[in-house]
Structure 1
């Protein structure tokens, strides 16, 4: 019996113990009271005196086999409750507990299988994934921990992602898959129904559909209005889904393909925008040690890389065409974009990134951005765990955006705001409540002269 039931009284301990002991006494009395009839050799049994429609009931003694089976059962039960828990809080002579039994069985399994797991620990994921023995071990673990959500074929279902394709919100590289399995993930899509209203939700839904579906499946007029809402207005969908709906790793899925976690019909998309979505991948670090995580990572990675080779990187979308007029150019974001050929091999100081530092004894996060961009770095969640935890614990996260000094000043100010909003959306996606995030415009949003990469940043400080 669990001792937590005795939080205020020992009554239940005594109550259960009394029931068990009295039950044994009652069973013994029942046996003795029914074992009084004895027949001598050749003597016939008498009737009990009862008669029903001419049928009389004989008063036979108990069969010997039944009598001794009853006695053995009674003795077995008595010995059991002496050796094992069963009488109130009495632990039993052997001191057995289910927890100790579990630990013994786990230790026995570890002793048997650990050398096998360790054999693969230092092998590259690509090599491990092709090993037939690992595939069987990985499938056994997958069937134990994963099929409830991802299905026996790993192709998922509504709300649970397919692991056999190359559509990875949090990244499909081995290191990213391992992090997902080990630490879990939380994906949050805000509910935009209250802010947009029914008609504007439909407009955005039609624009989203236009990104991947043929023209006969959406309304072009609604899609045109939805595009403006997608890139601005109260929603600013592009901060999580990218300026072309291509998705932002760790923030929002790609809307330009035909992979839909919650359904790609018009009804499903409207429902998603209206009510938002919340998904959580549990952390398995408490169940899988490093060697098992390595095997599990290889198995999951191998589900979408059957030949043991990663797919070729997808070509990056070409940059949008430049405006034809000077007035249009002034309205474009800010810092000058590099030619497409140069963007494909941007220098290190022009790439996005994130670092964790310390300011006045408190953690501070700094997000860096590529020129003219507001895309949050893919590894931000892993680097800023301390700040994310502080936000979840109720501390205020103050977010301030900056740019370098190149480009139009007014457009730069808008870009610094968009960067701050992108960071805000990132923290909300990690589970930080919106009321714990404050967008605070600095006195001067220009943080560096020229095209110095240090100026293209967002600072996040912890207050409270």
Structure 2
């Protein structure tokens, strides 16, 4: 049994076909019925229709021959068209034409014509493609087709759409990150904090955010002081996405210290962002661009912010003073930092001492876990603490770290209903000042 018969009926196919055929027959009858009148013999007057309106009568003239034959040709053309192409219900036409087939033929023709040109750059490094004039012309054409609607013809974006000509990248400005963004798209969500904080506390946070990038005098210092406490704790915990200094966390929250604002950096705009939240989505283009076109597009976009074909040099961290070998502790330095590892399907989020910042590469390391959460599976989040120090403070920090991981998962578009904060039976994760005590575990349940 055809299950689709429960939802569709052949009635509408017959109904449409019948309307078309009957309309065709009706028009033919109308044409022929009005073609009976002939021109009178020479010298005789043309008869009237017998109607009179205020002494005005209508002559019974025959149809003009040119008009009659033009109508006949139109009907012949229509009949031929309905035979060759779709138009009678679900009849596909003698030529079996569809818009999809037409599109595929045009794409195939274009690939045959231009495919070798795209393939020419496929094995070239991004930096080299970005400097090739021909590749740049192709990239510009692709950009103008798919990207200028949001990013503008100059690629500098507008309110709500990022500037691609600077070095401010939320998801990473390296070639592989740019290609991933173009191919898979991105979804960025900031929760609305207005209902949680209230109007006055929103203003406090906004002034603190302004203080991170603006000179004194452009913000209210008193409000900024109150906002700092809210930024680093309280119901908002802004630092879980934006970092403890507002420096931003790749893939989570933008840098608030550089005075680059996607939605505007005025106090009014910042208050609006905090109050109502933001939701942005870039579509995925891998269904429209094959790998060779993606390679060229990536090089073009990368080249917009690296005009000389070279990536900017990373900032050099200050070198620590030399210490005696007996005091060196390289493993501890590695341990005392945020990182993520996955062991037997359980993701372990480690934190620096006294911090609850999620590692910058968490989205990549825990990609499978995030995918499971997006598919509807429950993610159980459990925070642990060290056995030394104040137990209450350790437990509070453990909860903050668990909430930071929860915020991270929600920022990756995992539904809140699929995340459960669950306190482990034994919250102590390690004896003494050890890294195992500064962790949050996330496991898939069900």
Give the TM-score range, shorter chain: 0.7 to 0.9
1:35 aligns with 2:35: yes
> Structure 2: how far apart are the matches of 1:201 and 1:352?
29
Asked whether the equivalents of residues 244 and 357 of structure 2 are also in contact (C-alpha less than 8 Å), the reply is: no
Q: Which residue of 2 aligns with 1:185?
A: 186
Structure 1 unaligned segments of length 5 or more: list them: 320-341
Superposition deviation, residue 221 in structure 1: 0.7
Q: Which residue of 2 aligns with 1:461?
A: 443
1:354 aligns with 2:371: no
- How has the CA–CA distance of structure 1 residues 303 and 95 changed in structure 2, closer, same or farther, with 3 Å as cutoff? same
SS in structure 2 at match of 1:215: coil
> Structure 1: how far apart are the matches of 2:206 and 2:236?
12
Within the candidate set 436, 440, 448, 2:418 is matched to 436
- How has the CA–CA distance of structure 1 residues 178 and 445 changed in structure 2, closer, same or farther, with 3 Å as cutoff? farther
- How has the CA–CA distance of structure 1 residues 111 and 364 changed in structure 2, closer, same or farther, with 3 Å as cutoff? farther
Give the aligned CA root-mean-square deviation in angstroms.
Answer: 3.2
What's the TM-score once normalised by structure 2's chain length?
0.87
Asked whether the equivalents of residues 400 and 440 of structure 1 are also in contact (C-alpha less than 8 Å), the reply is: yes
**1:342-383: per-residue Cα shift (whole Å, max 9, x none)?**
99xx9766664434443xxxx322334455554333333234
SS in structure 1 at match of 2:444: strand
> Structure 2: how far apart are the matches of 1:258 and 1:417?
32
Q: Which residue of 1 aligns with 2:323?
A: none
Asked whether the equivalents of residues 239 and 418 of structure 1 are also in contact (C-alpha less than 8 Å), the reply is: no
> Structure 2: how far apart are the matches of 1:69 and 1:82?
20
Superposition deviation, residue 428 in structure 1: 0.7
> Structure 2: how far apart are the matches of 1:209 and 1:111?
54
Alignment of structure 1 residues 145-224 onto 2, 5 Å: 145-224=146-225
Q: Which residue of 2 aligns with 1:73?
A: 74
SS in structure 2 at match of 1:394: coil
Superposition deviation, residue 237 in structure 1: 0.9
Aligned length: 434
- How has the CA–CA distance of structure 1 residues 75 and 347 changed in structure 2, closer, same or farther, with 3 Å as cutoff? farther
- How has the CA–CA distance of structure 1 residues 314 and 368 changed in structure 2, closer, same or farther, with 3 Å as cutoff? same
1:19 aligns with 2:11: no
> Structure 1: how far apart are the matches of 2:338 and 2:129?
32
- How has the CA–CA distance of structure 1 residues 451 and 117 changed in structure 2, closer, same or farther, with 3 Å as cutoff? farther
- How has the CA–CA distance of structure 1 residues 355 and 285 changed in structure 2, closer, same or farther, with 3 Å as cutoff? farther
Asked whether the equivalents of residues 240 and 251 of structure 1 are also in contact (C-alpha less than 8 Å), the reply is: yes
> Structure 2: how far apart are the matches of 1:366 and 1:175?
25
Superposition deviation, residue 386 in structure 1: 2.8
SS in structure 1 at match of 2:27: helix
What's the TM-score once normalised by structure 1's chain length?
0.83
> Structure 2: how far apart are the matches of 1:194 and 1:317?
42
- How has the CA–CA distance of structure 1 residues 221 and 348 changed in structure 2, closer, same or farther, with 3 Å as cutoff? closer
Structure 2 unaligned segments of length 5 or more: list them: 321-327
> Structure 2: how far apart are the matches of 1:165 and 1:366?
34
Asked whether the equivalents of residues 239 and 357 of structure 2 are also in contact (C-alpha less than 8 Å), the reply is: no
